[in-house]
Structure 1
Amino acid sequence: MKNYLFLVAGSAIALSACVSAQAGEDKMSEKAAAELAKYEKTGETQTCLSTSRIRSIDPIDDLNFLVHMNNRDVYLNKVSGKCHGASRVGNRLQYTITANQLCRNEIITVVDNSLNTTVGSCGLNSFEELRELPEEPAEE
C-alpha cells in the first residue's frame, strides 16, 4: 500500500511540474506585452497572407510574431509551441511555401546566422489583424 501512495504522489508532482512548465511557456513576455499594448485586436483573422505583401515578420518573443504588410496593416500570429530563439538578435526566420502565401500550419524555422544551424521551429496559427492605437500625447 505504501508503494502505491508513493507512486500516486510522485505522479501528481510530475503532472504539476508539467502543467507549470506549460503555463510558463504560454505566458507572454513583458517585451511582447509592451509591444502589443500599441495595438488593439480587431477580432478579424486571416488563414493566409500573400507573401508579396509581407514587408517583415518580427518576433517580439518566442510565441508572438508581428507581421507587417506593405500597406501598413499589422497582424499578430501566436505560434503553436515555442519558437525557441525566434526573437534573439542574430537569428533569422526561414520558411518554405508552395504557393505565394504564408498560411496557418506552415512551419517556421529559426536559424542562427553565425552558425547557420537550426535552433528552433514552430507552426503558424491564424493571423489576427491589429489596429495601431493613436499615440498618447506626452504630459507636460
Structure 2
Amino acid sequence: MRVNLPLASAALLIAMGCATTASERVDEKVVEKLAGFERTGETVGCLNVRSISSIDAADEKTFLVRVGVNDYYVNEARGRCSGATSNFNHLEYTLTAAQLCRLDVIRVVDNQTGTFYGSCSLGDFERLKDKAPAEADEAS
C-alpha cells in the first residue's frame, strides 16, 4: 500500500484541529472582582429580577450577579454561553415570572446586528461574601 505523505500529514493536522477547541475569552475585570469574594455554599434557585443590578460574564460559564448595592452571587451555567464575555455582545433572557431562575435560558446577542451567538441555561445562584483582607490580598 502506498501512502501519500503530504496528504496523510494534512489529514492529521486537520484532525488535530478538530480535536482541540479555541481557548475561551476571560473578562479579567470580572475575574478580579470575583477573586475578592468567597463562596458561601448557600444557594438559591431564583433571584427577583427587579433586585438584579448587573450580570457580568467572567468566562463563558461563570456569571457574577450583583443584587442591590452590595450583594453578589455567582452562577455556573450548564454548558457554555459562547461569546458571553465579548464587549460586542449582550445577554438577553425571557421571564415567565418576576424571577430569574435555575434552568432559565440566557442568550448571547450581537449589540449591532441582533445576531444570536449562543445560549446556556443557568445553574443555582451561590451567595458570595467578601474575603477577609488578608485572603483578598493573597488572591490578587
Shorter-chain TM range is 0.7 to 0.9
Gaps of 5+ in 1: 1-13
State how many pairs are aligned: 118
Matches within 5 A, 1:1-140: 29=26, 31=28, 33-135=31-133
Contact 2:90–2:108, Cα closer than 8 Å, also in 1: yes
Partner secondary structure for residue 99 of structure 1 = coil
Gaps of 5+ in 2: 1-14
TM-score in terms of structure 1 length = 0.73
- What percentage of aligned pairs have identical amino acids? 42
Compared with structure 1, are the counterparts of its residues 80 and 130 closer, same or farther at alpha carbon in structure 2 (3 Å cutoff)? same
Aligned structure 1 segments of 4 or more residues deviating by more than 3 angstroms: 28-35, 134-138
- The alignment's C-alpha RMSD in Å is 2.7
Contact 2:27–2:85, Cα closer than 8 Å, also in 1: no
**Cα distance in structure 2, aligned partners of 1:77 and 1:44:** 12
**Cα distance in structure 2, aligned partners of 1:56 and 1:36:** 14
